[in-house]
Amino acid sequence: MFEYNPPSSPLEILHVDKDVLCVVKPSGLLSVPGRGEHLQDSLYTRILGEYPLAQMVHRLDMDTSGVMVVALRRKAERALKEQFRVRTVKKRYEAIVAGVPSRPTGTIDQPLKPHPTLKLRHVVNPAGKPSRTEYTTIRSHQQYSWLGLRPHTGRSHQLRVHLEHLGCPIVGDRFYAPSDVCSRSNRLMLHASELTFAHPYSGEEIHCVAPSGFASWWNSHRE
């Protein structure tokens, strides 16, 4: 049975000014509060303690770690949400997966829709919404691959479902990986490592980077 036990370590701030805050969300912490008193601790509620006017403009899955941008003023919120809507925000992720893709680089272009019976899950389905992910192999050996990922759409669980469809489920994925692959890590090995957007006031390009920290796991699991 799932028990919500988010990490208590201080948040890592990458950039802050009067309009925007860029922060690293740890794995295991909700982006926004869930339903019920036990799910109120989140990245958003923690940020509100210091920035009471903050507004969320996008989310990461609870199990995913990495860079997020938060609006600190209403005008910034509208401008950033529009950038996400028209897909001018550039995102890069890293994942450690079980197996090796048949090609070292490629594009996964498969439509996604909610699973017909399993709550919170999604599946590849011809009737689903168009979804596209580019991947590049950073490192690989017989059992695992370390991939760089660039999603061109922002569907729920897109990277997790696309990689499972590729035959390379993400290590630690409790939703889509087989139990033996899930159990190889105590966290989902998926991290939003880079985020690039236009500053909502100046138009200046803001590029935030947060290392995945996956190297120690990778080195300890190589054959």
Distance CA 137, CA 121 (A): 26
Which conformational region is residue 144 in: left (phi greater than 0), alpha (psi within -120 to 50 degrees), or beta? Answer: beta
**Yes or no: is domain 12-221 CATH 3.40.50.1110?**
no
186 exposure class (CB count in 10 Å sphere: 0-12, 13-18, 19+): exposed
Q: Could you tell me which of 27, 25, 66, 19 has the C-alpha nearest to residue 47?
A: 25
Tell me the domain boundaries of the chain.
Answer: 12-221
pLDDT at 120: 86
pLDDT at 223: 61
Mind telling me the catalytic residues? 61
Residues whose CB falls within 8 Å of the CB of residue 109, separated by 6 or more in sequence, listed in order: 130, 131, 132
For the entire predicted model, the pTM comes to 0.95
Q: What is the pLDDT along the chain (223 residues), one digit of tens a residue?
A: 678 999 999 999 999 999 999 999 999 999 999 988 889 999 999 999 999 999 999 999 999 999 999 999 999 999 999 999 999 999 999 999 999 999 999 999 999 999 999 988 999 999 999 999 999 999 998 899 999 999 999 999 999 999 999 999 999 999 999 999 999 999 999 999 999 999 999 999 999 999 999 999 999 987 6
pLDDT at 222: 73
Q: Which residue has the tokens 């339903």?
A: 35
